[in-house]
Amino acid sequence: MKIGLQFAMPAELHALPGAKNLIPMETISGVPFYEIAPGLPACVGGISKVNAAMAAEILCLRFGVDMILNAGVAGCATDLPTGSLVIASDFVQHDVDTTAVGDPIGLVSTVNRAEFPTWEPERCVALLRELGVQAVTGRVATGDWFAVKGSRSRWIADTFRPTLVEMEGGAIAQVCLRNNIRFAALKSVSDHLFSDHQAEEYFDFGHALEELGKVVLPLALALQKEE
């Protein structure tokens, strides 16, 4: 199975051992693509849903991947410690709202669904366990808004019950669905939405990146061997 790795920020890619010295093998529509290991493309797609969707589509069409593994840091809507690893069980898009025409909250038109499942999350957790790494599964809510403590974060938490909130994964999941390829996501907790110290956490998320960087490539290589 050919895997494509997708990150939002350069710091997430650079968390992989030796990745800071990598030179892009190609840049398409402003998105740099790297060969992170033989036959294993990786890209830094950028922050937000449109950037993420564009990069994912290039991975599908230009690089012909069978699965995209999205890896990055994310804000936590629960009490998981910073650096905790989460395999996404499914994604929702909290900023999609066509309820005015009678749709359920979060329903994405054209694909006509609100929940975007990932590929065998429990299997991904098992693969990490075989690598000596502990992870949990949980829902991730995506939207073009950096989630901070306040009424909107509380609404997202109460409405969608996510473990994590971030800005890219739901868009990648939608692209993978439409291209009929597999999708998995590994996230590391960088900050906590309802903490009074969220800003300090986010701007000092070296621990979250460190925990992420240790396991992304081993997980991708393990997934390559799956049927």
35 is catalytic: no
Q: 90, 191, 201, 211: which is the annotated catalytic residue? A: 191
Catalytic residue among 12, 90, 166, 201: 12
Say whether 158 is catalytic: no
User: C-alpha dihedral over 64, 68, 72, 75, to 10 degrees?
Assistant: 140
For residues 78 and 140, give the distance between their C-alpha atoms in angstroms, rounded to a whole number: 12
Question: Is the Cβ–Cβ distance between 65 and 4 less than 8 Å?
Answer: yes
Annotated catalytic residues are 12, 191
